Amino acid sequence: MSKEKTQEESNGFPLIGDKFPEMEVNTTHGTINVPGDYEGKWFVLFSHPGDFTPVCTTEFVSFANRYDQFQEMNTELIGLSIDQVFSHLKWVEWIEEELDTEIPFPVIADNTGIVAKELGMIHPGKGSNTVRAVFVVDDKGIIRTILYYPQELGRNMDEILRIVKAAQTSDSSAAGGQGHVAIPADWPNNELLGDDVIVEPASTEEQAEENMENYECYDWWLCHRKLEE
């Protein structure tokens, strides 16, 4: 079964682990190609219901205030709504003038709704506005996380930062020869493990014994360790 058919059967939008669909979009920073122009970088593409709305304004300020932290993780931000680019430009200008916050990332003007529909950002019960969707995409163009929020609920930007950091931590452990690791709840402040990561569960008796000897374990299937520098 082809990936295209799989996505079509899943209401037409990509899933975690899929390649982010290629698209050329009009933004406040000009025309960009996603994910092509972000090759070698992670990016967070997020939609908002509309310009000049209160919750969305607080979100844009929060994203802007954390922009440097995303940059430190080789991660770009891309906003999106179905408003015209002229509306985006005036709203971004208003935020800078009235709230003393510069919006450093591009905002997609998806006034035709094509991008939002392809990514499943339009809820049929909420009119034509986009829901608050978040796509975290890695440096190979693979979708790693998808989040959806109702229109009335603003997002937690620190959680989105945590998602990027956690996914990159898991990748770097595997790439660095330290083995695959999983990330516990509320990491790096987990109630049981602190900032430890979870060792990949053993698939053989021999490996289970080795894990019990080499790592701290609650049992053979729940072993953890510190991240190596």
CA distance 212 to 83: 56
CATH number for 118: 3.40.30.10
Q: What pLDDT score was predicted for residue 4? A: 45
| Among candidate residues 50, 47, 40, the one with its CA nearest the CA of residue 118 | 47
- The reply to whether 136 and 66 lie within a common domain is yes
Residue 7 above 90 pLDDT? Answer: no
Find the helix or strand (DSSP H, E) in which 128 lies: none
Q: Are residues 207 and 143 in the same domain?
A: no
Contact indicator for 25, 110 with CB cutoff of 8 Å: yes
- Give the residue carrying structure tokens 């690791």: 181
Classify residue 171: in a domain, yes or no.
no
Instruction: Give the mean model confidence (pLDDT) for residues 172-178.
Output: 76
For the CA atoms of 42, 48, 54, 55, what is the dihedral angle to 10 degrees?
Answer: -60
Beta-strand ranges (E) seen in 110-158 are 132-137, 143-149
Domain membership of residue 40 (yes or no) is: yes
Helix (H, G, I), strand (E, B) or coil at 62: helix
Is residue 132 domain-shared with residue 207, that is, in the same domain?
no
- Are 190 and 133 in the same domain? no
Q: 220 lies in which domain range?
A: 178-225
Determine, yes or no, domain membership for 162. Answer: no
Predicted pLDDT at 229: 60
Backbone CA torsion sign across 67, 85, 129, 140? negative
User: Average pLDDT, whole number, for the chain?
Assistant: 91
Q: Which residue has the tokens 């300020």?
A: 61
Look at residue 8 and tell me if it is in a domain. yes
133 with 193, same domain: the answer is no
pLDDT for res 131: 84
Report the range of poorest mean pLDDT among 47-61, 109-123, 188-202.
Answer: 109-123
Whole-number Å distance between alpha carbons of 219 and 10: 38
Q: Is 84 exposed, middle or buried (0-12, 13-18, 19+ CB in 10 A)?
A: middle
Q: Are residues 39 and 124 in the same domain?
A: yes
Do the beta carbons of residue 76 and residue 38 sit within 8 Å? yes
Residue 173 covered by a domain: no
pLDDT score, position 11: 52
pLDDT tens readout for residues 80-132: 999 999 999 999 999 999 999 999 999 999 998 899 889 988 877 666 678 89
Determine, yes or no, domain membership for 170.
Answer: no
Whether residue 193 sits in one domain with residue 81:
no
Q: Does 113 lie in the same domain as 56? A: yes
Q: What average pLDDT does this structure show over 202-211?
A: 94
Whether the Cβ atoms of residue 202 and residue 208 lie closer than 8 Å to each other = yes
In a domain, 163, yes or no: no
Residues 56 and 87 in one domain: yes
Q: Are residue 17 and residue 64 in the same domain, yes or no?
A: yes
The helix-helix angle for 54-65 and 85-99 (nearest 10°) equals: 70
Q: How many domains does the chain have?
A: 2
HSE (CB half, 13 Å, CA atoms) of 14? 21
Same domain, 10 and 101: yes
Q: Is residue 70 part of a domain?
A: yes
The residues that are catalytic are: 56
* Structural contact between residues 108 and 78, judged by C-beta atoms closer than 8 angstroms: yes
CATH at 215: 3.30.1020.10
Residue 126 pLDDT: 63
Among candidate residues 155, 189, 211, the one where a domain is terminated = 155
Is 148 found in the same domain as 194? no
